[in-house]
Amino acid sequence: MNELLVKNAYVIDPINHIDGEVMDIAVRDGRIVEDVGPQAEVIDAEGCLTLPGGVDSHTHVCGTKVNFGRYMSPEDMRAGREVRRGVKHATSGYSVPTTYANSYRYAIMGYTTLLEGAMAPLEARHTHEEFSATPLQDMMANTLFDGNWGVMKAVSEGDIERVAAIVGWTLSAVKGFGIKLTNPGGTEAWGYGKDLRCIKDEVPHFGVTPAEIIEAMIQACEMLRLPHSVHLHCNNLGTPGNYACTVGTFNLVPDLNKKRQSLYATHVQFHSYGGSDWKTFRSKAEPVAYTVNNRPQIVIDMGQVMFGKTTTMTADGPMEFNLYRLHHNKWSNHDVELETGSGIIPVLYRKKNLVNSIMWAIGLELGLLVKDPWRCLLTTDNPNGAPFVKYPEIIALLMSKKYRDAEFATVHRRTESRVDLPALDREMDWNEIAVMTRAGQAKALGITGIGKGHLGLGAEADIAVYPLKVGEIDPAQEYQKIIDGFARAKWTVKRGRPVARNGEILVHGENTTIWVDPKISPEHDMSRDPKFTEMFNHWYSVRMSNYPVQDEYLKRNLRIETEATI
Amino acid sequence: MIHEDMICPFCGCLCDDLVIETEGTEVVRVDNACTLGSHKLMNAGKHRLKAPIMRDSGRWRDATYEEAIEYTAGILLDADRPLLYGWSSTQGEAQGAGVSMAELLGGVIDSTTSVCHGPSILAIQEVGHPGCTLGQVKNRADLIVYWGCNPTEAHPRHMSRYTTYADGYFLENAFRDRKLIIVDVRKTETGSIADEFIQVKPGGDYAVLSALRAIVRGREDVVPPTVAGVTKEQLLRVAALCKEAKFGALFFGVGLTMSPGKYKNVRNAIELVDELNRYTKFTLTPLRGHYNVYGSNEVFTWMTGYPYAVDFSRQIAFYNPGETTAVDILARKECDAALIVASDPGAHFPKKCLEHLTDIPTVLIDPMHTMTTPLVRCQIPTAVTGMDAAGTAYRMDGVPIHVKKFLDLGYPSDTEIITKIFEKVTEVRHP
Ligand code: SF4
């Protein structure tokens, strides 16, 4: 029996409606309990801000694309080198750190659960190998279906049950968590060097449109009763005027689930652009946020851009090629047969650059204009908008108008006429930040039921204590304290075990991989469907029997079985 | 017993459709594999070292696994600058244990990459890599280019599984509809079936690539009448073929990476492919030789940040090919102990390097007697991954494949042996 008592914690736990209560948190065998015995290990929180462990509902930390980002960037590796010490391995990398470095840095910031945003099913084994090497967070992987031939064929036949059956089979086979669509249809078009502009364009050779794919996948997701909704990276990312496509996409979405959203739209900053070219480029965060405010079935994440160097990586291959043509640094592309693709390029977001300055403002505008913090989550789409180590600065920007104004004074001077940011007075409170960085993320992912994102009885004992005395700090004025406080938790507790303290890593832990296994009726079992197996064995370059990820790739894991309606 | 859908652990094609028949501990039949793969598999149980061997005053004697493991841990712990080299024909799990051990020892870990596609990686680190999985080529490509390689000999099923002879989803009659361009210094068997065979004078690859880039960019005026033995006429024809293709796929081998110009050749090839993407779709893939050399790059990268030649002597991961690569370290007589795993430097390294290997305590982990055996002081036989051990391997296009086990000959796997050595090392040098 392993017991821990976190004493004198100033707790904010939005899911359990606790907003600033000083209390003790008792932990036994990794779960939160009523009380513990006198032998329990004690941590004194000293009245500091105590939150559920951070949850990142959209990050890129493990897998083929991430690793290729490292592989092609020795210059980035040199930027983040730390020596091996104690239980801590040597680390490298700033924007795409090594697996260990990602895990340590997240732990130091109080994060305990991460969702890898994009896993190509054919290459899933790689993601799981890196998950096994991630010591301090629980991991999940959204699985890419944007250019899935089986799905697109079933959509063109109008057979939603078949869509669901294919998705279900694939998730079980690759041990994925949820559905990811990245530029749906566009990545297939990129197979021949083309792209789609928006949701009504037809995917070459498949006779379907992104709109049809998105609608079918939303329904299939509900048929499979997946904990998380469809996780969408809209079409037409990063182009001036694309907000109209984004709003059009949002307006498609039906409200199908009482417990959570029907659609999670990711890095919406990159999709809220006005103007007709880069010269007339401007923010359209306002109409996008308006649409979100009026459609409770949609949750978004910010995709905040922060200035400095980073590496962009996405399954949106054509977008990366276009970006490469603007930046001219280096470009990697990796199309995955019958499924998806990806691209990687390094970027430098500069304050001197008008477009970059507007992008920075748009993310913050979204955060401030979406009224309900449960529906606009704090992310950078790590590392696309910025590396996740920038989260504390974003928190401070959301909490302090003074900080925003001070930063705004340093960006490109023509930004003012293109954005609404200076006019926004909202300053977020601690509770809203707790929602945007953990409670809301866990709820959107549908994992509160397995004890994530809250500190109620029976919850996973993932706890972050920050060196912040809520009553003594005015975040609106003392924003540097906010940045420093969130950058380095006083304690990070993972499954009841202290794993980091004041920036030091204390243990070499082991994570849990959370995956979803929808239970589907035998007549919808794709492994026995002749058309599906034939397609598989004819056009993939691996045999169907060699495709599923073997159990041995998952060390400790939590399988969520759902009762599908097919 | 018949084993279906087995994976060939020989070259970077990692063919996964083999049918292998075994009788007891004998492989009696292999279907679908090429001669290279069949040969390896048919001889799976033969020529194996029965047990570890150690040199005792110049003579070999049998040793126990415990003794050999103890000895290996001892020489690594005693060394100031141990070198852990090889890793290309073993499972990813063993590679991972190797990296952890190198880190704890403050040693250098390098794979055979540094003598094959190392230059390709240097080029990728400068300009990136427009690539794709092999199925993408199979289904779409109507133009295939092989540059400085001979797949017929080295990757015998590459053309039938992924390119020229493979069915393609978007091609009516794949074999007829695909064009084949071969670039080489001599006409090989592959060259004789090409639509265009470009014979480049040795060392002329860089110039030919530059000329093609100029033509694709619309600057044929700067191209002289012949470039490294290739006529301008042919270059124009080839550039046109590339631009007209709907999907072109360029594969290249050590003929490009190890010829004069080295990584600059590859950089030029990547930039040509970049350029072509402005007109059509084009991709590039290094033809990797060992079945899991790409895996070593992947594992090293996620653990250390660098794909090969990682030096932990400063407690951080340090990478500087040309300095931290195995050949350089040996040539400078810098390392004072070596562990060679699943590779055969004895057959490939310069004499100077091999001399140093014999001067220092060197241990080899390999199932069979190889050209490296005479150089070492101890050899530990292990199971052959893909035959009597399972594990992960990365195909040349980065697709991770679970390589299966179909025999049990009682040997420990590389991972087991390396983990045991690592445990011994950890006992002395606590993390
Ligand atoms: S092509 Fe390579 S992987 Fe395929 S059977 Fe031959 S040696 Fe084995």
Q: pTM for this structure?
A: 0.96
Domains parsed from chain A with CATH numbers: 54-450 (3.20.20)
**Mean pLDDT (whole number) for A465-489:** 96
Question: Residue B44 has what pLDDT?
Answer: 75
Distance from C-alpha of A272 to C-alpha of A242, rounded to nearest angstrom: 6
Question: Residue A313 has what pLDDT?
Answer: 87
**Mean pLDDT (whole number) for B219-239:** 95
Superfamily of domain B118-286: Dimethylsulfoxide Reductase, domain 2 (3.40.228.10)
Work out whether strand B400-403 and strand B196-199 pair parallel, antiparallel, or are unpaired: unpaired
Contacts of A67 in chain B (CB under 8 A): 298, 301-302
Answer yes or no: is pLDDT of A1 > 70: no
* Ligand 1, pocket-test mutation among B5, B6, B13, most atoms within 8 A of CB: B13
- Amino acid of residue A517: D
Name the closest-CA residue to atom 2, ligand 1.
B11
> B161: CA distance to ligand 1 center in Å?
10
Q: For B118, which residue in chain A has the nearest alpha carbon?
A: A71
Residue A461: which of A75, A9, A101 has the closest Cα?
A9
Q: Are A145 and A181 in contact (CB under 8 A)?
A: yes
Answer yes or no: is pLDDT of A217 > 80: yes
Q: What distance in Å separates residue A25's CA from the closest CA in chain B?
A: 32
Report the length, in residues, of chain A. 566
How many whole angstroms from its chain centre is CA B300? 14
Distance from C-alpha of B62 to C-alpha of B68, rounded to nearest angstrom: 10
The two counts, helices (H) then strands (E), for chain B are 17, 22
Q: Tell me what percent of the residues of chain B surpass a pLDDT of 70.
A: 100
- What is the residue-wise DSSP string for A169-191? HHHHHHT--EEEEESTTHHHHHT
Q: How high does pLDDT run on average in chain A?
A: 95
Could you state, in order of their start, the residue ranges of all structural domains in chain B?
Answer: 49-115+291-429, 118-286
Both tokens of residue A54?
């951070």
**Site of tokens 């960085």:** A437
Question: Residue B55 has what pLDDT?
Answer: 94
Residues in contact with ligand 1 (CB, 6 Å cut-off): B 8, 10-11, 13-15, 33-34, 36-37, 155-157
Distance from C-alpha of B294 to C-alpha of A67, rounded to nearest angstrom: 12
Interchain CB distance below 8 Å, A71 and B317: no
DSSP one-letter code for B369? -
Answer yes or no: is pLDDT of A172 > 70: yes
How crowded is residue B61: how many other Cβ atoms within 10 Å of its Cβ?
10
**H or E segment to which residue B131 belongs:** strand B128-132
Interchain CB distance below 8 Å, A334 and B131: yes
Question: Residue B116 has what pLDDT?
Answer: 85
Q: Over A234-257, what HEC string results?
A: CCCCCCCCCHHHHHHHHCCCCCCC
For residue A124, CA distances in Å to A210, B14, B99 come to 24, 17, 22
Q: Tell me what percent of the residues of chain A surpass a pLDDT of 90.
A: 93
Distance from C-alpha of A384 to C-alpha of A316, rounded to nearest angstrom: 12
Answer yes or no: is pLDDT of A239 > 80: yes
Report cis status (omega within 30 of 0) of the bond before B307: no
**Site of tokens 């990070």:** A492
Distance from C-alpha of B320 to C-alpha of A290, rounded to nearest angstrom: 52
Q: Are B108 and B329 in contact (CB under 8 A)?
A: yes
Contacts of A64 in chain B (CB under 8 A): 398, 400
How crowded is residue A458: how many other Cβ atoms within 10 Å of its Cβ?
10
Alpha helices per DSSP H over B44-181: 65-78, 92-105, 118-127, 134-140, 151-154, 158-161, 174-177
Question: Residue B327 has what pLDDT?
Answer: 95
What is the band of A34 on the pLDDT scale with cuts at 50, 70, 90? very high
Both tokens of residue B413?
């796997």
Contacts of A68 in chain B (CB under 8 A): 129, 398
Residue A389: which of A487, A512, A522, A459 has the closest Cα?
A487
Both tokens of residue A298?
């949609």
Could you give the strand order of the β-sheet that contains A331-335, starting from the edge strand earlier in sequence? A308-314, A343-349, A331-335, B128-132
More confident: A307 or A566:
A307
**Mean pLDDT (whole number) for B141-167:** 92
Interchain CB distance below 8 Å, B135 and A344: no
Answer yes or no: is pLDDT of A315 > 80: no
Question: Residue B152 has what pLDDT?
Answer: 87
Both tokens of residue A385?
């908008």
Q: For CA atoms A88, A89, A94, A96, give the dihedral sign.
A: negative
Alpha helices per DSSP H over B186-292: 205-216, 232-244, 254-257, 262-276
Contacts of B410 (CB under 8 A, 6+ apart): none
Name the closest-CA residue to atom 3, ligand 1.
B14
Spell out a b/e string for A395-419, using b for 16 or more CB atoms within 10 Å of the CB, else e. Answer: bbbbbbbbbbeebbeebbeebeebb
Helix, strand, coil share (%) of chain B residues, nearest 5? 40, 25, 40
Distance from C-alpha of A166 to C-alpha of A522, rounded to nearest angstrom: 13
pLDDT in tens, B359-395: 999 999 999 999 999 999 999 999 999 999 999 999 9
Work out whether strand A557-563 and strand A513-519 pair parallel, antiparallel, or are unpaired: parallel
Both tokens of residue B430?
């606590």
**H or E segment to which residue A142 belongs:** strand A138-144
Q: Are A142 and A524 in contact (CB under 8 A)?
A: no
pLDDT in tens, B246-298: 999 999 988 888 888 889 999 999 999 999 999 999 999 999 989 999 999 99
Name the closest-CA residue to atom 7, ligand 1.
B37
Answer yes or no: is pLDDT of A281 > 80: yes
Contacts of A332 in chain B (CB under 8 A): 124, 128-131
Question: Residue A308 has what pLDDT?
Answer: 95
Q: For A128, which residue in chain B has the nearest alpha carbon?
A: B400
Q: What distance in Å separates residue A396's CA from the closest CA in chain B?
A: 31
pLDDT in tens, B52-100: 999 988 899 999 999 999 999 999 999 999 999 999 999 999 999 999 9
How many whole angstroms from its chain centre is CA A18? 25
Answer yes or no: is pLDDT of A241 > 80: yes
Answer yes or no: is pLDDT of A391 > 90: yes
Tell me which residue in A85, A92, A330 faces B317 most closely, judged by beta carbons.
A92
How many whole angstroms from its chain centre is CA A28? 30
Question: Residue B431 has what pLDDT?
Answer: 63
Q: What distance in Å separates residue A382's CA from the closest CA in chain B?
A: 17
Question: Residue A318 has what pLDDT?
Answer: 82
Tell me which residue in A81, A87, A324 faces B431 most closely, judged by beta carbons.
A87
| ipTM reported for the complex, 2 dp | 0.95
Q: Are A338 and A149 in contact (CB under 8 A)?
A: yes
Q: Which CATH architecture has domain B49-115+291-429?
A: 3-Layer(aba) Sandwich (3.40)
